[in-house]
Amino acid sequence: MKMKNLGFYVLAICLLISSGVDAQQKKRTKTQRQTSGYGNQSSGYGTQPAQQQQSGYGNQNQQQQQPQQSGYGNNQSGYGNQSGYGNNNQQQPSNQPQANIPIVVVPSTGNAAMDSVKPSLRNDASIERNLIKDRQPLAYEHIREDDAVYRQRVWREIDTREKMNLPFRYAADEDNGNQRFISILLQAIRNREVTAFDPFDDRFTTPLTPSKVMESFSGGLDTVPVYDMQGNIVRYEVRAREVDPDSIYQFRIKEEWVFDKESSRMFVRILGICPVKQTYTSSGIYIGPSPLFWVYYPDCRPILSKYEAFNGKNYGARMTWEELFENRMFSSYITKTTMDNPYDRRLKDYIKDPILRLLEGENIKEKIFNYEQDLWSY
């Protein structure tokens, strides 16, 4: 009997323990369902206020907090009201920060030697020099076509680095401008006293405007920024690149030798002058000589007669540039001729050795000289 009662008590205790465990499991399940986000009282997809207050999806409290922490379209967004993309609270960086900076074109020829020279306000000499202003070149002697029994065209090149040609590089300034020969030509072209022609056609077929000539003479244009004291760009200046006029040290001469049977003498008439510039790449690699323009020499004679060439031996006995060319007071070498040249080639096209080219030029000059001498018998 005692054993039966003891077994009953043990069974009752087990039932009590089992019921307590079931109650705890039901409580845990209820708590999980209250905090769930799907379909219960705490869910974000229900209709009760508790669902909206505790849900992580779609309630009022979470919706008010979520836009404040979101990255798209809210107050703290990177793309919205306080965003760096298109809002009113933050300035956008401009794509063209230099759009409103003015650009100023500075008028210049590219070198101070080519610009205008201020005249002296006093007589800058011990004597009154008025003859140079009134000089006019003598007219050429007329040669009839029937009397021209012998004609040869010759192209020469003057190198001003030679000692005899140093007057071409005389760099002083006088009342009529810079005294370099290239400066005299450019000044006459700029004042429209002489017409320049295309440099690649020595037949004077294509005239050039003065602006085109100045552009070919200069080294191009550069846009230079101008800064203030704070390092900001205040404007841009378009300036011509500086060109050293002494870098133009070669001049091509086109001339014609004519024998007049009426006067029985040989005449030489210069037809054109062409300055030559040495061209380089931006990296300093030498390309070669480049002609600038041709000028018709008979048109230049009145201009050249008003400029005096440099005379290092006697400054008071200077001759004009027109007299210098007519008296052949320069050194040159022949680069091309019509004599025995059916293919119209320059000497360097078929004679590669420079020494042999010089000798061939002397041979051409001797042939022209001997033609006149051989007409006479002694």
Give pairs for 263-268: CB < 8 Å, separation 24+.
Answer: 263/141, 264/375, 265/372, 266/368, 266/371, 266/372, 267/141, 267/143, 268/328
Tell whether pTM > 0.85.
no
> Band of the pLDDT at 223, cuts 50, 70, 90?
confident
For residue 159, the SS3 value is: strand
Predicted local distance difference test score (pLDDT) of residue 257: 97
For residue 289, the SS3 value is: strand
Sequence letter at residue 256: E
Report the 10 Å Cβ neighbour count for 62: 16
Nearest to 268 by CA among 119, 128, 369: 369
What is the per-residue pLDDT across 80-126, written as a single tens digit (0 to 9) for each?
444 444 444 555 444 344 567 888 877 665 555 566 788 889 988 88
Average the pLDDT over each of 18-32, 48-62, 361-375 and give the range with the smallest value.
48-62
What is the per-residue pLDDT across 262-282, written as a single tens digit (0 to 9) for each?
999 999 999 999 999 998 887
For residue 197, the SS3 value is: strand
> Band of the pLDDT at 310, cuts 50, 70, 90?
very high
Which residue carries 């033609």 as its tokens? 371
Inter-residue contact 217 to 277 (CB < 8 Å): yes
Predicted local distance difference test score (pLDDT) of residue 329: 96
| 265-279 burial: b if 16+ Cβ within 10 Å, else e | ebeeebbbbbbbbee
Which residue carries 């979520």 as its tokens? 66
> Band of the pLDDT at 242, cuts 50, 70, 90?
confident
> Band of the pLDDT at 341, cuts 50, 70, 90?
very high
Q: Is 318's pLDDT higher than 50?
A: yes
Mean pLDDT over residues 42-62, rounded?
44
* Alpha helices (runs of H) in the chain, residue ranges in sequence order: 2-34, 49-54, 60-69, 131-134, 181-190, 210-217, 297-304, 321-326, 347-350, 354-374
Domain range list for the chain: 103-118+144-331
Q: What is the mean pLDDT of the chain?
A: 80
Q: Is 36's pLDDT higher than 80?
A: no
Q: What is the DSSP letter of 267?
A: E
What is the per-residue pLDDT across 137-170, written as a single tens digit (0 to 9) for each?
999 999 999 999 999 999 999 999 999 999 999 9
DSSP per-residue letters across 216-265: HHS--EEEEEEE-TTS-EEEEEEEEPP--GGG--EEEEEEEEEEETTTTE
What is the per-residue pLDDT across 224-241, written as a single tens digit (0 to 9) for each?
888 999 988 888 888 777
Inter-residue contact 221 to 104 (CB < 8 Å): no
Give the number of residues written for the chain.
378
What whole-number percentage of the chain has pLDDT above 90?
Answer: 49
